[in-house]
A and B are shown apart, each in its own frame.
Chain A
């Protein structure tokens, strides 16, 4: 890492506006980051509640709590809320807070656009969640909304679903334009691209992925809209179309989307492990190249979601090989994190606990992903709980733990108060144990033959399903503890210094600022040597 020249902090002559208007009209990156983070936290409980409904029903065989029509709405909306309402906004919130601080700029490049990007989200989700309360019911065709179930056979509310997806897409695209522009044009002098913090790198790459694929999602739902309302036949065989075309276009978006959901976590984990191993991240340039190759490769693997659609042999083999290839840069990152810890001087504060759990459990998710890539074996895994286990491992102890690690790591900087370490550790251990109790048995029921999106199942799957449901409830309630910890850290706690952790000032510009930072962050640009 380079050394950083100390600068003056400006005396902020004005602070934020007072009251509700502050939050409605703010153009400050820290306020907007806070809005995104609170929104995503709220949506975590909304999506989590849907998961609780699912797991309550699946606790035992038989239909006890809900009927299949409502269950299908729960699985669909749980997915949509978690993907578009929790993980993505949480990372955008962290981006808003941290990117200007890490590159030495006073704010994002387009502050007013930033405000719009956020406020589009509550609007979109109000529209989406409100469909659950309508007579026709909400979307019930899975978060992947394959045609023709989502076109010819969809409830009328599908049009509202399409509209909310459009709004979400606009929010992500505008946010990404802002992020790329900020990173490319507003870095402190001396901070070349290869001196940028890894979190900033991860977001630069993620933002480019978003720019590339969110419009494809918009195209997909527009084609759906046209098939439903304007008599076209993109996905309707009768008119010369093809339902499988939907899958190709959707997954062309969908696969890069899942890398969008993990790359920022990679960035966060690199920072946390570096700080708490007291040793610079091993292989900085490889980390950058690895993230870049993952992003590029993510465009040529999409049909590994479609191995059973009747693709010809050459297609199956190609997508199997390209998917296996992604394991290489991902593996390099895991090796580098371990090599950072090796011969370091490690302490185990809460952020580090979450980061270490990320490395281990994301890797388990990666292994099941590698198994899924093996096309002939996928004939037995596809659309079973084995897939559900895989993606929950990479998204929950993967992405979500990455977010949580970032929150614990940076919250003393944001609020000026240390969070309660004892409670943090309790939150960690409860989450760690319950997350494994919830998702590990899913591998087994999937292998044994339980398909996904089933509200009821044959008797041989009962024991593990009960275990999963218990784990899920514990995990869900444990996040209330996180809520308590966060609120407590906002209001009180041991005062945090500029550096917060040990000897961080040479390792990131954010640690040269006060905790909490001044309203306009850097009013004088620092210089990076």
Chain B
């Protein structure tokens, strides 16, 4: 008798662990990722611990409930007992619950303290959430760039098949070296966003006017993808995060390259641009920044997103056209792009819209060169 109940006991003890471990294993696509940092691993372990405890409590409580439903059903003749309280039982399970919770609170506290580390960072990166992209500024090296979704609008509109990293790819990933303490200074430019990379277990809100800090130390090279996790308007789902962790030498080479690129971009504004060069570049800029609202065919979605094709301003009013792109339109979704597009990109995208669809044929044919934008910035009317 005793041994049977022991075997039964052992069986029921191990049963929950036989639950498909594929679902709960590290490699599962359906569980929290273990991640690559010490903190992310500890958080994963904590998550699994709490989940198993909850599962266990559930098995016991539901077990008793289902058993009662079967054993004490009226249709099999069960007669109801009369008791409606039991002082020591109630004290007992209240204390048991409290003890279990304290048992959960202890490891949770220690993981929390570990995550809240304020020591110096080897590399400090300012992360700014914009509607709807991220800006990264490296404090030590002065490298600064925007990181936007690079998935094409055609994929989103189901016109072409979706790529493997649909909505998880960007034009310029954040590049960091491995085995260095990276400190993030996170803020928002307009509304609250939130910067989350699951593999690092880093998530902090990007609040306009305030700085939040986070840190990580990535031991393994790789590509790590994250998301914006605070509703920030229209394209909340379309501003992913991609971090590339690389060896120190590769990181240093990348920094040098980025600084050189910034220099080159500055020079570009002094070069003489042909109409064809501007249109070609402008199309690329348009597809990245404008197409979601104004559509590939330039017809937008009036009245909220005006049509550029056939627009009087685009066709015949170069000054106002530049002004709108630089300043935005108050009270609408049209942002000011002056801080987000370089002079070259700004000039080319305006030129592209002035020359495309029916505008090339019907408009005044004026193009915009980078110097026009530089001039505008020097004498702008707000």
Tell me, yes or no, whether B202 is within 8 Å of chain A by CB: yes
- Chain B residue numbers with a CB within 8 Å of A430 are none
- Are the C-beta atoms of A278 and B65 separated by less than 8 Å? no
The reply to whether A310 and B210 contact each other, CB–CB distance below 8 Å, is yes
| B3 is an interface residue with CB less than 8 A from chain A | no
B194 to nearest A CB, angstroms?
6
- Which chain A residues lie closer than 8 Å to B201 at the CB level? 376, 379-380
Extra contacts, 16 of them, besides A146-B231, A449-B198, A455-B237 (Cβ < 8 A), are A61-B162, A62-B156, A153-B191, A237-B208, A238-B209, A243-B210, A316-B112, A325-B101, A328-B97, A331-B93, A346-B72, A374-B104, A383-B196, A444-B31, A456-B167, A458-B166
Question: Among the listed stretches B80-88, B139-147, B260-268, B345-353, which one makes contact with chain A, having 4 or more residues with CB under 8 Å of it?
Answer: B80-88
Residues of A contacting B43 in the complex (Cβ-Cβ under 8 angstroms): 376-377, 379-380
Q: A377-B46, A459-B166 are in contact. Are A324 and B304 (CB under 8 A)?
A: no
**Closest residue of A by beta carbon distance from B199:** A449
Task: Report how far A213 CA is from B108 CA in the complex, Å.
Answer: 30
Residue B310 at the chain A interface, CB threshold 8 Å? no
Q: Which residues 60-95 in A have Cβ within 8 Å of B in the complex? A: 61-64, 67-69, 72
Query: Does the CB pair A444–B30 fall under 8 Å?
Result: yes
Q: Is B234 an interface residue (CB 8 A)?
A: yes
What residues of chain A lie closer than 8 Å to B86, measured between beta carbons? 282, 339
Whether B355 is near chain A, meaning CB under 8 Å from some CB there, is no
**B90 CB-CB contact with A under 8 Å:** yes
Please state if A244 and B207 are interface contacts (CB–CB under 8 Å).
yes
Q: Is B192 an interface residue (CB 8 A)?
A: yes
Contact indicator B165/A458 (Cβ below 8 Å): yes
* CB-based contact B113/A367 at 8 Å: no
Q: How far is the CA of A332 from the CA of B97 in the complex (A)?
A: 9
Return the CB mask of B11-43 against A: 1 if under 8 Å, else 0.
Answer: 000000000000100000111110000000011
Contact with A along B161-199 (1 / 0, CB 8 A): 010111110000000000000000000001110101010
Residue numbers in B under 8 Å from A448 (CB-CB): 29-33
Q: List 26 A-B contacts (CB under 8 A).
A: A69-B234, A146-B230, A153-B190, A244-B207, A282-B86, A310-B213, A313-B113, A320-B105, A335-B61, A335-B93, A338-B65, A341-B69, A346-B68, A364-B58, A367-B55, A376-B43, A376-B46, A377-B47, A380-B47, A383-B196, A444-B30, A451-B196, A451-B227, A453-B237, A459-B162, A464-B30
Across the interface, do B231 and A149 meet the contact criterion of CB distance under 8 Å? Answer: yes
Residues of B within 8 A of A277 (CB): 72, 80
Interface flag for B381 (CB, 8 Å)? no
Residues on A lying within 8 angstroms of B by beta carbon are 61-64, 67-69, 72, 135, 140-142, 146, 148-149, 152-153, 237-238, 242-244, 277-286, 308-310, 313, 316-317, 320-321, 324-325, 327-328, 331-332, 334-335, 338-348, 356, 359-360, 363-364, 367, 370-371, 374-377, 379-380, 382-384, 444-445, 447-449, 451, 453-460, 464
Contacts of A339 in B (CB 8 A): 86, 89
Which residues on B sit within 8 Å (CB–CB) of A317? Answer: 109, 112
A340 to B109, CA, bound (A): 36
Known: A69-B234, A343-B81, A382-B229. A460 touches B203 (CB 8 A): no
- The smallest C-beta distance from A116 to any residue of chain B, in angstroms, reads 35
Contacts of B234 in A (CB 8 A): 68-69, 72
Q: Is the CB of B192 within 8 A of A371?
A: no
Tell yes or no: B256 within 8 A of A by CB.
Answer: no
Measured between beta carbons, the chain B residues less than 8 angstroms from A341 are 65, 68-69, 72
Residue B78 at the chain A interface, CB threshold 8 Å = yes
A344 in complex: contacting residue of B55, B68, B157, B162, CB < 8 Å: B68
Cβ contacts under 8 Å, B64 to chain A: 338, 342
Contacts of A382 in B (CB 8 A): 203, 229
CB proximity of B158 to chain A, nearest CB, Å:
4
Given contacts A332-B97, A376-B43, A237 and B209 within 8 Å (CB-CB): yes
Indicate whether B54 reaches chain A with its CB closer than 8 angstroms: yes
Q: Is the CB of A72 within 8 A of B231?
A: yes
B residues less than 8 Å from A146 (CB atoms): 192, 230-231
Checking B47, B65, B207, B226 against A310 with a beta-carbon cut-off of 8 angstroms, the contacting residue is B207
Docked-complex contact A327 and B30, CB < 8 angstroms: no
